[in-house]
Every structure is written in structure tokens, then in C-alpha cells.
Chains A and B, each alone.
Chain A
């Protein structure tokens, strides 16, 4: 038996998430511009960019893996999104838990890295190296924040975490989880690839790192992937710490709130070098994370 309602929901959420993801990217650029007293592009600029890239007559390829990388990344981002409860739409979220979603959110990275590596461009290689080292650095505090959350709520299931927050108040209202959220927010900055952790793309330093070789439809796919990923990650944040949402509007407000914190932080701080980032992650966020997990044992 085919569950038509679910299929419609999936299609609807995918379209909505892609669109909102692009708007988030637009907000990011616009807000950054306003902070720097520029006018900035319109909110829908990323959509125009992507459509333009898709319309290119020809794109170059460095081989099968180079093509497969972005496709795999976008596919994995979509898969990750389907396992997060988006507002009142459960999608597949009752069949996967926090660890699965946390892993699925990391898979796109592997896709991008695969494609970037096969391009043979040294800037891409540097970008790959930086990306993985950032990931290694942030993994420990990230893990600790998630562990604190799981230990407090006593379940791995995202839908149950949302339900429990509905009954007992948002995660942030619990002191230990507030610490966990601060840790998670620092890590979040690196997950979105924003300053001070925009080491991976590092514009004006290594020419967008992994993405440097990509143009045309490949770049369009990567843009779309970034849009879906931003939507999924902000929704993940809202679900874990801000009590989820009962409708899309509530979710949107929470996502934008999370996004603005990230943008404000990003516009203040300059970029870390990679070893500084590693040392930073293994100092304060880790200490805070350990405090959080010990408080929730």
C-alpha cells in the first residue's frame, strides 16, 4: 500500500525546505551587508544565482567521482532532512534517532570532499584538509552536547525529545542543557561554515577551497545542497534545544533566530587558523561540554 499522504508531505517539505534554505542564504548575505553598511543583494539573489548556473551551456568535469561528489552530497542532505521532524510533519523521523540524524548531517561533507579531491586542484586539497580538521576539532564538543541532551531526556528519538520539551519546557530552560546549547551553538558556527570557522572555504585565501573547481550545474547542485543543509541544520537546532515547533511559521521564527545569532557572531569575529580552531574547540567548548554531561549523568 502506498502512503500518498506521506509522499505528498515529503515532496512539499522538500520544495519548502529548498526555497527557505535559499532565502536563509539570502538573509545571511543581506544581514551581513547591512552590518557592514552596504545595501546588499535582494533576498532571492541565491535563487537567481543558482538558476543562472543551471542555465550554463557547458560545464567541465574531472571524471566520474567529480560528478558523483555533488550529487551524493545533495542526496545525503535530502536524506538527512527527511529524518528530522519538521514542525507538525513527522516524515520518517519516527524511524531514526539522534545519532542517525547527526551522522546523516555529516555525510554531505564526505560527498563534497570526494568531488573536491578528485578535481586535482591544490586549493581544493587544502580545503579538504581544513574541512576534515575542523570536523575532527568540533566532533568532541559536538558529541558532548548531544550526549548531555540524550542523558537529560533519556531518549534518542527526536520526536520524543520534542514531545518531552512540549510537556516539561524547552531544553534551554534546564541549566545543564543551557550549557550544552552554548557548546552546540559554537559548533553550529563551524557546521554552517561561518566566521570564525570559515576555514574551509576561506574566501580571499584559498579561493573557496573545495568548491573552487566547480562551475555550471555542479555549482548549482552544491548551492542547492547548501540551502537544504542550512534548513536541515537550523531545524535540527530548533528541535533539539528550542522545543521544536507545532507549525511551519513557529519553526521558521526559531530557525531565523538561530540563524541571526550565527550571522551576528560571524560578522564580529575574524577567521581562526586551523590549529587555533582545534586548540579552541578542545579547550572551552570541551570543558563546558564535560560540565554539561556530568551535570546530566
Chain B
């Protein structure tokens, strides 16, 4: 039995079994095993993969599906499997139904299949499996949001299908390698014109942009990410969005040369890549601004997730090897810190049953471990050295500025400022300030969830201090010495970052400051209600924390821009078409027998004139 087959289908099998044997204890064990197997096999195959790609062909009903585990697909699959394992541990605590396990693990198989497929048949089938499974996860909680997700996914799927159809018609092949070579040869033959190339590019970009949540196709993400089991969202946002990102890489691999030949360059940048970079930059800025203004913890992280995937698109759009290295690194760091965030959110919601900031506060004392994990995620997302989030962001900065894309790089600066703002909102709203009296008996999250968080928190620290481990592997993927240095030091042509030394300096600084602190007088512990209030007497019944509209001044400064919204635009479009259909229905299907007989007469007349009768 081939390992690739095991990696691919164990999660699905485990999901079906967990659904069939839906007993407490049994489904969890089956599910955990199913989620752990892919990671175990990927680790086992690592030495083989770095030697040469592992191939596998599966023949089903006359079609041959080709799978390959190369260096790049191993990377993506490993990231997805790591998050998948954490998700499974989280689900043990948060889910009570076999339904969740079935579809969560089904989408696991889908994602792995997308990364491993070597032809468009398998790619498309598993892509749809992944979309369907995640749709079912959302459908269970919220019909409206799931439909929004469904409609946009269908648009994406049709776009992809059309593009695949055009490619098949032109090249006669469905496997990636043949298509790639055919398109390279086609540059000199010119059978695919400029218009058609642009069409193909747009179609693929739509298909993958939907999944990655690129603006303006991001509207499904906030709803879908929040209206599902939060442990699953860790996987949904951590791994499924990476399928879209992987698709963008696929565009480069299959069509890169053709697109370059047809579209040329724009001020020294590849035109098509420049488009991707700007889509990424706009996604970063728009989604981060919206994240800052959210009042619901799930919505905040959903928008933040969209924004962070924007960084990856931006990095790939830079188009230089360094850009790819930064983007690939961010794939990993986004998966681990955002997965961690969603698990922390899962723990908070599980223990308090609340999602809005205005109902929470002061939980740090009640859930210290979850708080510590949340803090690690915050530091990593905000890009505080030495965390994994900083190393990847640093590479993206270097890449964008080195490639002379100043305005795009400016968007990263703005985005990281905004990221700082929304994570602090999360810290303040959930963990600090006065605790509402209803939350007095909140307890620490259950053990499986804590384990899940630990699984994702450790890589945040390890790859933060030793980013060279990741860049070393990325060098293999990109087949060149893109990022130099050793385990602890990243060196590019123009810059350098020594993570170990930064950590050391921080430790020195903390030691000095800690000594000053310890040398000082004893501190007396007072409650958060005992504070300086400019002489105003404070009583316990007033909660003085800022619960709502924390960033009100920003909303005021952005008043003009906030009047426009893609979400409302689409909703209006949907409403319009619904009204139109309704008007049609009322005009024609009016229940009047006479008008129905008229329709019949008219149709008969037309047919007669046409010569059918």
C-alpha cells in the first residue's frame, strides 16, 4: 500500500467511521488517529522527499489521478497536517457530534488532495470535496452565511472549470507537467492569444482568490469563519485558505512564462505579478481596518485572517525568489499563529458562551494558560521579534522593498500597525479590565484544547528563534540559496536578522529590568476596582472598562470610507436579482387561467412560425 494513499484518505476514512460509530470516546479516538496519521507519514517520508519526489497514480473509472509529494507539496501538506492535528484535539473538547468529525476530516482529505494532485481532475475533485465539507460545517450553524460562502465558492468553481476547459481545449492535457510545457512552447507558437491568456489568468485568479479571501471576494470569510465550530475554524482559516494561496503558486508554475511573454513588464515588474501584489496589498489594508472595528471576537479574527493571507498574496506578487520565500514562510507562520488564535477563541467561547467583547473581560486570572497561549499568538501576529510571525514578515518587507515596490511595502507597514491595534483590542476586551459578575465561575479550558494550543504554540517559539530551519527547507523548494545564514540567522543580499541575538538582547534587557524590579520595594496586591479615578468615588456596580466601540475615533476618522462596503453591495445585488425574479413571477405566474392560455397560444404561434409544427 502506498504511503500517499494513506496520507490522503485516512482522514476521510476516520471521519466516516467517527460518524458511523457516533459514541462518546469512540469517535474522538478514531478522529484523533485519523488526523495524526498524515503528519506521521509526512514526517516518515521527509528523507525520501528531499531526495526525489514520491509519485503515485490512482486509476478510478478510466481516469488516472496522479499524485506527487514534492518538496513544495510536502511543505504545504505538513503545515495543513500540523494544524489538522491541533484541530482534532480541539474538536475533542468542543464538538459533541459525529457530523462535525465527518466533515472536518473530509475537508482535511480535500486540502491534502489539492496540495498533492498533479493533474486538474484530482485537483478539481478534491477542491470541491474540501469546499463541500467546509460548507456543510457552516450550514449546520448558519444558513445565510453558508449560502454566501456557497455562492462565492460556486462562482470560483465555475471560473476554475472554465479555465481548465480552455486549457484542455488548447493543450489537450490535464496534467500539470504537460500543460506547463505546452504553454512554454506556445509562447513561440502563439495559438493562445493575448486576450485568451488574460481570460485564463482572470478565471484562475477568481477561483483561487475566493478561497484565499482576496478583496473583493472576501465577503464570505467573516461569516463562514465565525459561524462554525471554532476548533474547526483553526483549520478552516489556517489550512483551507492556503489552498487558494497554493493556487496562486500554481498559476506561476503553469502559466508564469506565458503570462510574462504576453503581458510583459510594468516599470520593471512582471505585469501579472504586479496585479497579484496590489490585490494582496489592498486585502491587507481593507481587511485590517475592518478587523480593528469589529465588536465580535470571531469577526475580528476572521477579518484579521483575511488580512494575513493578503500578506502572502502580496509576497508572491513581488515575484522575486525572496518574495516567494517570504510568502512560503508566512504560510507556515500564519497557519500556526492564526490556528492558535482560533483555538484560544474556541476555549473562550466554550467556557463563557459569549462572543462579543462587551460581555467579556478580566478572564486572565480565570484562564491563565489560555491567556499565555493567546499572548504568544498576539506577539507572533503583531510581529514582535523573536517570534515566527516576525521572521516571515521581515522577509516580506525585505522582498517588497528590494523589488522597488514602495507603495506595496507601505501597505505592509500600515497593515502591521493595524494588526497591533486589533490584537490589543482582543487582549483588553477579553483578558483585562473588570470582570462581569456572571463570569466569576469560569474555569480553565479542558485538557485536549490546551494540548491543541500547545501543539501550535511551540512552533511559534521554535521557528521564531530558529527561522533558519524553515528558510533552509524553503531554499530546497525554490532550488537555490535564496535566504542565506544558518539556523538562527537570516541573511539576504541587503539585510540581516539574527533571531538568536535578538532573543539574547531581549533576555539581557529583561534581566536588567527584572533586577531593578526585584531590587525595589515589595508590591501590595490590590484589585482592579481599586484604581485612581480623579477623586470620583467608584462603586462595584459600574463596570468601568471600555466595552463597546473601543476604536470609535478611528471609525470617525474613516467615516467616509465606511459608507462603502462590498458586503452590502453584494447583498444589494442579491436582493435586486431576487426582486427581479419575484417581479417576473408575479407578472407571468399570476394564477389567471386566461393568461396561461394566452402564453400557450403565443408559444404555439412562435413554434409554428419557426416551422417546427
Given A54-B520, A120-B545, A207-B532, also A99-B418 (CB < 8 A): no
- Asked if B512 CB lies within 8 Å of chain A CBs, one says yes
Whether B553 pairs with A293 at a CB distance below 8 angstroms is no
- Asked if A195 CB lies within 8 Å of chain B CBs, one says no
- Asked if B523 CB lies within 8 Å of chain A CBs, one says yes
Given contacts A83-B502, A143-B409, A146-B413, 4 further A-B contacts (CB under 8 A): A57-B521, A125-B428, A126-B546, A274-B553
Given A71-B517, A121-B531, A154-B494, also A104-B385 (CB < 8 A): yes
Whether B523 pairs with A95 at a CB distance below 8 angstroms is no
- Asked if A252 CB lies within 8 Å of chain B CBs, one says no
Chain B: CB-nearest residue to A147 = B406
User: Interface of B with A (CB < 8 Å)?
Assistant: 267, 292, 362, 364-365, 379, 382-385, 390, 394, 397-398, 401, 404, 406-407, 409-410, 412-414, 416-418, 420-421, 424, 427-428, 431-434, 489, 494-498, 501-502, 505-506, 508-514, 516-517, 519-529, 531-534, 544-546, 550-551, 553-554, 556-557
Cα A200 to Cα B438 in complex, Å, equals 32
Whether B401 pairs with A147 at a CB distance below 8 angstroms is yes
Residues of B within 8 A of A218 (CB): 523
Given A139-B414, A157-B495, also A56-B521 (CB < 8 A): yes
Given A104-B385, A118-B432, A221-B517, also A83-B546 (CB < 8 A): no
Residues of A within 8 A of B410 (CB): 140, 143-144, 147, 289-290, 293
Whether B417 pairs with A139 at a CB distance below 8 angstroms is yes
Cα A95 to Cα B486 in complex, Å, equals 13
Whether B409 pairs with A220 at a CB distance below 8 angstroms is no
Whether A61 pairs with B545 at a CB distance below 8 angstroms is no
User: Interface of A with B (CB < 8 Å)?
Assistant: 10, 14, 54, 56-63, 65, 67, 70-79, 82-83, 92, 94-100, 103-104, 106-107, 110, 113-114, 117-123, 125-126, 128-130, 132-133, 135-140, 142-144, 146-148, 150-151, 154-157, 207, 212-213, 216-218, 220-221, 224-225, 273-275, 278-279, 282, 289-290, 293-294, 296-297
Cα A77 to Cα B520 in complex, Å, equals 20
Interface of A is mostly: helix
Chain A: CB-nearest residue to B497 = A100
Cβ contacts A to B, 18 pairs, < 8 Å: A59-B524, A71-B514, A74-B513, A98-B495, A99-B497, A110-B379, A110-B420, A129-B546, A133-B554, A143-B413, A207-B532, A213-B531, A216-B521, A220-B516, A221-B516, A221-B517, A221-B520, A297-B267
Q: Which of A54, A99, A290 contacts B397 (CB 8 A)?
A: A99
Minimum distance in angstroms from B323 CB to a CB of chain A: 15
Cα A27 to Cα B379 in complex, Å, equals 35
Output the residue of A76, A154, A212, A220 with the most chain B CB within 10 A: A76
Whether A99 pairs with B509 at a CB distance below 8 angstroms is no
Shortest beta-carbon contacts, A-B, top 4? A143-B413, A120-B528, A217-B520, A139-B417
